[in-house]
């Protein structure tokens, strides 16, 4: 287990450093690129605990799609290249408080659910994941897909209304 | 389960883990530039020239075979120029991100029962996920160049790659449903051991049942490579090379290697998914000889698929941005969804 611990330490350190840079970077594109490193770190952690499918999904969805949309939006809306200090804003304190609250809730939930449990280190196969997804977790799975569909339709409706329809 | 295992079997010596990892890395690191050179010479320099009734390069080496090596040496000698307003770090890293994405695809492509860098349970899903990383590199290049043509090219590239990633993934779904696995080695085995209505003479290459998937995959690959007819992001005649416009020397070379290396990787994925990969439908799949014959069989199939890809590239005129988006969202995606539904019905019914 030593190699895994060392790997975890390195990945976690890189993630924390990059996460701090996400909120302190003066340039918003740099912030988005640091976020890529954080998300890649999450994927690496998933791989480390043997959740191959989840790790790869993390890369495909978050880095391949979400970040690309972020960058796409940023570049589409601000085209002048030297803007410094624009990422700072006045509501720093509420933002920090919200982040701390979220951290407390997540730590509480994780400790309450898992406590001192040790993770089973055997890698999960894709077949296992899909079996569980379509039997035990079928209701949340379907609920999420309906939610996504609603968001999709909502986005199209809003976009069309603004066009002057 | 690795080339190193084969090597240790042949030489009757034990190859330690670190050594086999180094060997694998070396093989991939050599394979990407070689693949780019082969595709660049055979198709870009020669096939295109012949289709246009000219000879192409003839001076460097016999029949111009060393032309691309000479070009590569030339690129390395060039000055490494940064535009004055460029974001230097991002500008410098962008070509590397594109190239790393290409390298990572090669990790899972199997060329024999043991001749694969890593056999992953999520195989094809992994390959498609890492191939999508190149978009980040392209956006970085487009933005960091501080040039309006580059930014325009980057934006066009992002819009196009997002649109065509969906049909690319959905086209593969048909094969995955039919084979019942994401593992590329098992997809190869499923085709080699399959049978067509009880006749197992040629196995069951999925191009027969998944022809729609093969077609969608090739069109989407063409768009992912930003090659003509989907070359709006780099269109020389309007945005003078798009996100590549400010790049010189070896950084430009990286983009070139990324493009052709990825073309080779996608051709290899198409060969594995639809043409049966490294296997022949006769004989024992586990036989050690496949580790030597496999790469050769693969190469023939990869070149056949690549010939198709480049034939399209040299034949069709460029699509306009709106035609390009309409093609993805209104034609390819519905077609691939229909293909999934039909495949699913047959899978359950048969």
> Residue A11 has which token pair?
């990945």
Partners of residue B132 in chain A, C-beta under 8 Å: 59-60, 63-65, 68
| ipTM > 0.90 for the complex | no
Query: What is the pLDDT, as a whole number, of residue A146?
Result: 95
Please report the DSSP string for B70-89 in residue order.
HHHHHHHHS-----TTS-HH
The answer on pLDDT for B313 being more than 60 is yes
Query: What is the pLDDT, as a whole number, of residue A154?
Result: 92
Parse chain B into domains and list their residue ranges.
Answer: 77-349
d(CA A161, CA B190): 50
DSSP letter for B280, please: -
> Residue B257 has which token pair?
């290697």
3-state SS, residue B201: strand
Query: What's the rounded mean pLDDT across residues B26-51?
Result: 80
CB-count exposure of residue B344 (10 Å: 0-12, 13-18, 19+): middle
Beta bridge partners of B201: B203
Question: Tell me: the pLDDT tens digits for A22-56?
Answer: 888 777 888 888 999 999 999 988 888 888 888 88
Least Cα separation, residue B231 to chain A (angstroms): 18
Banded pLDDT at B1 (limits 50, 70, 90): very low
Question: Tell me: the pLDDT tens digits for A64-123?
Answer: 888 888 888 887 776 555 555 455 667 888 888 998 999 999 999 988 888 777 777 677
The answer on pLDDT for B337 being more than 80 is yes
Cα separation of the two ends of chain B: 33
Please give the residue of chain B at the shortest CA–CA distance from A31: B90
Query: What is the pLDDT, as a whole number, of residue A38?
Result: 92
Residues 6 or more apart in contact with residue A100 via CB below 8 angstroms: none
Which residues 114-153 of chain B have a CB within 8 Å of chain A?
120-122, 125-126, 128-130, 132-133, 135-136, 139-140, 142-143, 146, 148, 151
Query: What is the pLDDT, as a whole number, of residue B347?
Result: 82
d(CA B137, CA B97): 5
Size of interface A-B (CB pairs under 8 A): 78
Query: What is the pLDDT, as a whole number, of residue A1?
Result: 62
Q: Closest partner residue to B139 among A53, A60, A75, by Cβ?
A: A75
The answer on pLDDT for B290 being more than 80 is no
d(CA A116, CA A71): 40
Residues B240 and B12: beta-carbon distance below 8 Å: no
Parse chain A into domains and list their residue ranges.
Answer: 2-133, 134-165
Residues A54 and A46: beta-carbon distance below 8 Å: yes
Query: What's the rounded mean pLDDT across residues B307-320?
Result: 85
d(CA B299, CA B301): 5
> Residue B87 has which token pair?
């974001």
Mean pLDDT of chain B: 81
Residues B182 and B242: beta-carbon distance below 8 Å: no
What is the torsion angle, in degrees rounded to the nearest 10, for the CA atoms of residue B253, residue B256, residue B261 and residue B263?
Answer: 180
Query: What is the pLDDT, as a whole number, of residue B120?
Result: 78
Query: What's the rounded mean pLDDT across residues B205-228?
Result: 85
Please report the DSSP string for B82-147 in residue order.
--TTS-HHHHHHHHHHHHHHHHHHHTT--SSSS--S---TTHHHHHHHHHTTHHHHHHHHHHHTT-
Query: What is the pLDDT, as a whole number, of residue A13?
Result: 92
Please give the residue of chain A at the shortest CA–CA distance from B127: A56
Query: What is the pLDDT, as a whole number, of residue B6?
Result: 54
Query: What's the rounded mean pLDDT across residues A133-155?
Result: 91
Please report the DSSP string for B22-74 in residue order.
HHHHHHHHHHHHHHHHHHIIIIIIIIHHHHTTS----SSSGGGTTHHHHHHHH
Query: Which comes out higher in pLDDT, residue B277 or A140?
Result: A140
Residues B200 and B194: beta-carbon distance below 8 Å: yes
- Asked if the bond preceding A127 is cis, omega within 30° of 0, the reply is no
Least Cα separation, residue A131 to chain B (angstroms): 13
Cα separation of the two ends of chain A: 61
Banded pLDDT at B327 (limits 50, 70, 90): confident
Query: What is the pLDDT, as a whole number, of residue B244?
Result: 80
User: How far is residue B206 CA from its own chain's centroid?
Assistant: 19
Angle between helices B88-106 and B17-39 (to 10 degrees): 100
Question: Tell me: the pLDDT tens digits for B60-94?
Answer: 778 877 888 888 888 888 887 788 777 788 888 88
pTM of the model: 0.83
> Residue B15 has which token pair?
């190859």
User: How far is residue B338 CA from its own chain's centroid?
Assistant: 25
Judge: A82–B126 Cβ closer than 8 Å, yes or no.
no
Please give the residue of chain A at the shortest CA–CA distance from B93: A33
Least confident of B105-109, B201-205, B222-226, B292-296: B201-205
Compute the Cα dihedral for B261, B267, B273, B279 and give only its sign.
negative
d(CA B130, CA A24): 28
Question: Tell me: the pLDDT tens digits for B247-271?
Answer: 888 888 888 888 888 888 899 999 9
Query: Which comes out higher in pLDDT, residue B214 or B86?
Result: B214
User: How far is residue B134 CA from its own chain's centroid?
Assistant: 12
Query: Which comes out higher in pLDDT, residue A104 or B140?
Result: A104
Residues A95 and B174: beta-carbon distance below 8 Å: no
Domain spanning A2-133 has what CATH number?
Answer: 1.20.120.1200
Beta bridge partners of B196: B199
Please report the DSSP string for chain A in residue order.
-HHHHHHHHHHHHHHHHHHHHHHH-SSHHHHHHHHHHHHHHHHHHHHHTT-HHHHHHHIIIIIIIIIHHHHHHHHHH---S---STT--S-HHHHHHHHHHHHHHHHHHHHHHHTTPPPP-SPPPHHHHHHHHTTTTHHHHHHHHHHHHHHHHHHHHHHHHHTT-
Partners of residue B143 in chain A, C-beta under 8 Å: 29, 71, 75
Banded pLDDT at B296 (limits 50, 70, 90): confident
Query: What is the pLDDT, as a whole number, of residue A97?
Result: 92
H helices of B134-248, in order, are 134-144, 148-179, 184-193, 211-224, 236-239
Query: What is the pLDDT, as a whole number, of residue A107?
Result: 92
Q: Which helix (H) or strand (E) holds B18?
A: helix B17-39
Percent of chain B with pLDDT over 90: 2
3-state SS, residue B254: helix
């Amino acid at each position: 287990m030593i190699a895994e611990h060392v790997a975890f330490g390195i990945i976690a350190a890189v993630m924390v450093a990059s996460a701090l840079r996400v909120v302190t970077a003066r340039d918003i594109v740099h912030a988005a690129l640091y976020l890529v490193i954080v998300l890649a770190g999450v994927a690496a952690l998933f791989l480390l605990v043997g959740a191959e499918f989840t790790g790869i999904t993390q890369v495909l969805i978050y880095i391949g799609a979400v970040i690309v949309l972020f960058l796409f939006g940023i570049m589409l809306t601000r085209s002048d290249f030297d803007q410094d200090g624009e990422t700072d804003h006045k509501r720093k304190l509420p933002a920090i408080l919200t982040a701390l609250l979220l951290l407390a809730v997540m730590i509480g939930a994780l400790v309450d659910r898992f406590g001192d449990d040790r993770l089973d280190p055997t890698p999960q196969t894709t077949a296992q994941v899909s079996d569980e997804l379509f039997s035990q977790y079928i209701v949340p799975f379907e609920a999420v897909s309906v939610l996504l569909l609603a968001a999709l339709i909502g986005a199209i409706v809003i976009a069309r209304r603004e066009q002057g329809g | 389960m690795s080339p190193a295992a084969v090597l240790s079997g042949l030489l009757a010596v034990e190859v330690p883990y670190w050594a086999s990892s180094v060997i694998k890395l070396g093989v991939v690191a050599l394979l990407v530039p070689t693949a780019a050179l082969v595709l660049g010479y055979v198709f870009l320099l020669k096939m295109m020239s012949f289709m246009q009734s000219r000879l192409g390069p003839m001076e460097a080496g016999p029949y111009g075979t060393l032309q691309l090596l000479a070009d590569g040496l030339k690129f390395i000698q060039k000055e490494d120029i940064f535009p004055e307003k460029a974001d230097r770090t991002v500008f410098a890293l962008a070509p590397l991100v594109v190239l790393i994405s290409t390298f990572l695809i090669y990790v899972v492509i199997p060329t024999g029962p043991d001749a694969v860098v890593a056999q992953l349970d999520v195989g094809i899903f992994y390959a498609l996920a890492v191939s999508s990383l190149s978009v980040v590199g392209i956006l970085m290049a487009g933005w960091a160049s501080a040039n309006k043509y580059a930014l325009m090219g980057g934006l066009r590239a992002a819009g196009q790659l997002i649109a065509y990633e969906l049909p690319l993934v959905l086209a593969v779904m048909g094969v995955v449903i039919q084979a019942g696995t994401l593992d590329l080695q098992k997809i190869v085995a499923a085709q080699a051991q399959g049978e067509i209505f009880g006749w197992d003479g040629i196995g069951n290459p999925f191009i027969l049942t998944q022809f729609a998937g093969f077609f969608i995959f090739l069109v989407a690959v063409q768009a992912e490579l930003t090659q003509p007819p989907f070359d709006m992001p780099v269109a020389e005649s309007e945005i003078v090379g798009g996100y590549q416009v400010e790049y010189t020397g070896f950084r430009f070379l990286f983009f070139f290697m990324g493009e052709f290396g990825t073309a080779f990787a996608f051709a290899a994925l198409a060969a594995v998914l639809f043409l049966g990969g490294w296997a022949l439908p006769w004989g024992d799949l586990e036989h050690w000889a496949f580790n030597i014959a496999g790469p050769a069989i693969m190469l023939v199939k990869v070149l056949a698929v690549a010939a198709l890809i480049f034939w399209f590239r040299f034949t069709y005129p460029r699509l306009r941005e709106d035609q390009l988006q309409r093609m993805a969202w209104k034609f390819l995606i519905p077609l691939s969804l229909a293909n999934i539904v039909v495949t699913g019905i047959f899978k359950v019914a048969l």
